[in-house]
Each structure stands twice: as structure tokens, then as C-alpha cells.
Structure 1
Amino acid sequence: MRYLLHPGRFLARLGAFILVRAAQCALSRGEYPRAERLFGLALRLAERVLGPTDVVVGAVLNDLGIVHKYQGRFDEAERVYRRAHAIFLAARGEVSLELAALYHNRGGLEHARGRDGRGEPFARRGLEIREQALGPAHPTVAADAAALAAILDGQGKRDEAEELFRRALTVFERIYGGEHYEVAVTLNNLGALCQAKGETEEAERLYRRALAIKEKRLGGSHPEVATTLNNLAVLCRSQARHAEAQRLYHRAMVIFHGALGPSHPSTQACGENYEALTGRAQ
């Protein structure tokens, strides 16, 4: 076996794996600085022992890009994604699950930047590769479908977006049950789509279900909770329910500020929404 001949490489892969798992746990809790530190340690270990072009290095770079995206450090995310892309392309060729995961994330980055047109080709390619490899009923494929749906919704392509959201939601609920994180994220995004279509009653139902799941699974101070609070506040404001909207905005602002800092795009966007409401109320 290879690791018996190369114990240093085996131990490096094991060490990187342990660090990455710890980092992923921190990421899921919204502890972005801790996740960044742990991914950084894994990256340095893998680069030193395995070499800068090893696929493990590419995988860690891909994860690090996710952290940078959540932190609002979009240029840094793009740099590490581009480096990971070159590694995967050289090691695996044009079609691989590693490259599909990267396409998913690069689409998500462009969506976060508000550049959905640029993100759509990445998202479509990632979905295509993983659907061919894993089948349409696989939860990772459902995540790809949901990611593409969000990008399409951002471009006003709502019919295709809704079809993909509901397809993803069916898979998530069947495999994970009704209270999984992926279910909550999809409910939130589907709620935003319904709100854009003027289906406000359905949108509120989806938002409140998403919020309940997120609070239960992630705790009340996670930035994902704040995202749904902000969306629900936007809906309440559109219905002239200003007092309720103000409470929701304020709670979202406290979470965003504590978890992401005052300069993060989500904090600033929520703050602008809150100021617009309170200025109007006055």
C-alpha cells in the first residue's frame, strides 16, 4: 500500500483531513475566523508535504474560498478558486467531481457579488457533471440545482428557478427529513422567489418555516438566521407592517454585526434596509 512506502505523505493527508473537518464544523457554526485559521493550517501542511499542485491542496483552497465568500472577501475567494481550478484541471481533466464542486462554488461567488450572468455557466456546468455522475436524486445534485435556481432567480428567470428549487426541496426532504439545514436554505430562497412574484402569503409561510429550522439547527445568532430575518422584514415592510419589520431588521442587524462585522455586505445591506424603514416611519 502506498502509505506504507510514504508514511510522511499519509500522515500529511490524515492531518489535513482532521484540520479540514474541524474547519468545516467551525464554518457550519458561522465561526469564520476560526474556520479560516484551520483551513490555513491544513493548506500549509498539504503544500509543504504533498506539494503545491496536489489535489488535496486544491480541495483545501476550494474550502478556503467558501470562507472568504462568507466573509465578503470576494477577490480573495476568486484567487483561491482560480488556483484550485488549475490544480483540478491538471490532475483530473475537464470532467471530475472535484471540478464540479468548484464550479458550484464559483457560481455561488458570482451570485454573492450580484453578477448572476457570470455565475450561471459555472452553476450549469457543475450541475451537469454531478448529475451525470451521481444521478438526479442525489442530495449533492439537488444542492447544485438549488444553487443554479438562486442564480436564475437573480436574473428574473423565475419559472426555471422555481422548478429547480422545488425539485431540490423534494430531494432534500425525502433524504434528510423536513428540518435539515439544506431544507431551510431552499425554503428561504423559494420564499424570496415567491415574494418577487407577488405571492406574499406563500412567501411568508416559507420564510417562517425556514426561520424555525435555522434557529433550531444553527442557534439564534447564526448569520443564516439573520438572512431570513432580513427577508421576512422586507416582506413585512412591503405590507406596511412597520413595527414588526423594525423588530426583525434590528435582530438581523445585531446578528450580522456580531458575526460578520460592520463592513460585510450583508451587514451593510440590512443596515440600509433598517435605516430606510426607520426614516420612513419617522
Structure 2
Amino acid sequence: MESLAVADVCIEWGVLGKYTGDFDWAQASYERALAISERVDGSISHRVATVCHNLGGLAHARGDFALGEPWARRAVTVRTALMGPAEPVVAADRAAWAALLEGCGRLDEAEAVLRQAMAVFQKCYGPEHYEVAVTLHNLAALRHRRGDIEAAVQGYTLALNLKARLLGPEHPDCAITLINLATAHREKGNNAEAAAQYTRAIATLAARVAPDHPTLRLARERLNALGGEEPPLGRKGAL
């Protein structure tokens, strides 16, 4: 009989497969880890919750939100049974579930789940924490998808400012919020501000990621569509 040590190795293989793009290998590794964990630990364990969380994340990476949503929901259910609803790790499971609910078009459910996660993050970590910044970004993205562009701009701006304080204004994680903020400004008809934010995203990423990085490529494509001029390499975007 395979041991929990084998399950843990399979989880690591799954993580590696996801981040190298070998999704089929990742799926098989996670499924093997889940089978071992359920056989040894039963259906309610942190290891089972982690594998379910990861299976949901893998489906999100594939763009198969309907496949991933039940896995993410199960992760929340299992972890809540073990710890109660008020722990940050449960909130992280909820945030991952919300992303899949949004992908499924279930926006009201996604917002409710995200707000539950935000309440836990703020209570446990305070307002100046990375998880709070990420959740602010995700709530802004929900407003954006609903067409509430002004609220989206406000939310992205709050998220960006918090990320900049926590990580530094040139951290690559700021770039995706800059791109979303720029897109919201473009949809408002404010092309000059949109171009400025795309330019900042490019300046943030250009010296830090590969030239074909998808986020950098996206920022360049959108800036070019506006007729903007890319900043010279090495020029920094200031927040």
C-alpha cells in the first residue's frame, strides 16, 4: 500500500506539473495523491483539502472552471469541518473557490464568498496585508465584469496602492493590477490614462521577466492598440 509520503511527493509533482504546463501529469499526480490520502486518512483531512484546492487551481489554469468549481468547494467544506470558518487557510480556500465561481459566471456567489474571505483576512492580518490586496483586486475584477467601471477603477487603485506599499512599486505582481486598471480607464474612454498605466506595467515587467511573458505581451499589445509608445528598457514606472 502506498504511504502518505508518496502522496506528498505526488502533490509536489502536481505543483511542478502545473507551473511547467504539463497539466495532464499534474492531474494524474493529484489524483494519485487524493486516492492515497482518502484511503489512509479518510475523506476529511488537511491533505485531502489541499489536493482538492490544487485540483481546483489546476482546472482554473486550464480554463475549465466548471470542472474546478466542485473541487474548490470541496476544499472549503473539508477545511471548514477541520478548523471552522474563521481561519486564514480556509479564507484562502474560499478565495480560490470564488475565482472559479466567477469563471462559471456565478458572480453573486463569487462576491459573497470573496467578502467572507476578506472579513477573515482583515480580522486575522489587519488591513495592510498581501491577501487583502489580492482580494481587493479580485473584488474590483468582479465589479469590472459587471460593467461598473468606476467602482472597478477605485478597487484596482486601492489594490495597487496596497501592493506597492507591501511589495514595492516595481514588484511584478503590481503589473496585472496596472493592466486591469488601464483597461478600465480605456473602457471609460480615458485613453491617455490607460496608456500611462500600460506603460507602467511594461516598465515594471520588462527588466524582470522573459520577453515572451504573457503578462508583458498583453500590456504591449494593449498599449500598441492605443497607439502608445513603449518605454525604453530600464526606465522605471513610478507609482
Band of TM-score, shorter chain: 0.7 to 0.9
CA deviation after TM superposition for structure 1 residue 110, in Å: 1.6
Task: Give the match for residue 82 of structure 2.
Answer: 133
Displacement of 1:249 after TM fit? Answer: 1.8
Residue matched to 1:220: 169
Residue 180 of structure 1, aligned match among 126, 129, 133: 129
Q: Could you say which residue in structure 1 is the equivalent of 2:153?
A: 204
2:44–2:82 contact (8 Å) kept in structure 1: no
**Conserved in 1, the CA contact under 8 Å of 2:107 and 2:142?**
yes
Q: Which of residues 96, 101, 110 is equivalent to 1:147?
A: 96
Query: Are positions 1:273 and 2:222 aligned together?
Result: yes
Q: Which ranges of structure 1 fall in alignment gaps of 5 or more residues?
A: 1-51
Deviation at 1:75, TM superposition (A): 4.6
Contact 1:111 1:151 survives alignment (8 Å): yes
Task: State the TM-score, normalized to the length of structure 2.
Answer: 0.82
- Please, what is the CA RMSD of the aligned residues? 2.7
Gap change, CA 1:157 and 1:235, over 3 Å in 2 = same
Farther off after superposition, 179-188 or 244-253: 244-253
Inter-partner Cα distance in structure 2 for 1:56 and 1:231: 41
| Contact 1:55/1:91, CA 8 A, preserved across alignment | yes
The TM-score normalised by the length of structure 1 is 0.71
Verify: 1:113 aligned to 2:113, yes or no.
no
Report sequence identity in percent: 45
- Pair 84,218 (structure 1): closer, same or farther in 2 beyond 3 Å: farther
Judging changes above 3 Å, is the alpha-carbon distance between structure 1 residues 106 and 199 closer, same or farther for their aligned structure 2 residues? Answer: same
Runs of 4+ that moved beyond 6 A: none
* Structure 2, gaps ≥5 residues long: 229-239
1:101 Cα deviation (Å)?
Answer: 1.3
Change (3 A) 1:196 1:141: same
CA distance in 2, matches of 1:80, 1:268: 31
**1:230 matched to 2:179:** yes
Q: Which has the larger displacement, 183-192 or 78-87?
A: 78-87
| Matches of 1:235 and 1:74, distance apart in 2 | 32
Per-residue CA distance 1:88-143 (angstroms, 9 max, x = gap): 23432332111111211221222232211111011111111011111111111111
Q: What is the alpha-carbon distance in structure 2 between the residues aligned to residue 244 and residue 69 of structure 1?
A: 35
Correspondence for 2:119: 170
AA partner of residue 89 (structure 1): E
Q: 1:215 to 1:83 in 2, by over 3 A?
A: farther
The DSSP-based 3-state class of the residue aligned with 1:240 is: coil
Distance 1:67 1:131, change over 3 A: same
Q: Deviations over 1:49-68 (max 9, x none)?
A: xxx95434533553564465
The DSSP-based 3-state class of the residue aligned with 1:156 is: coil
How many residues are paired up?
228
Structure in which a larger fraction of residues adopt helix: 1
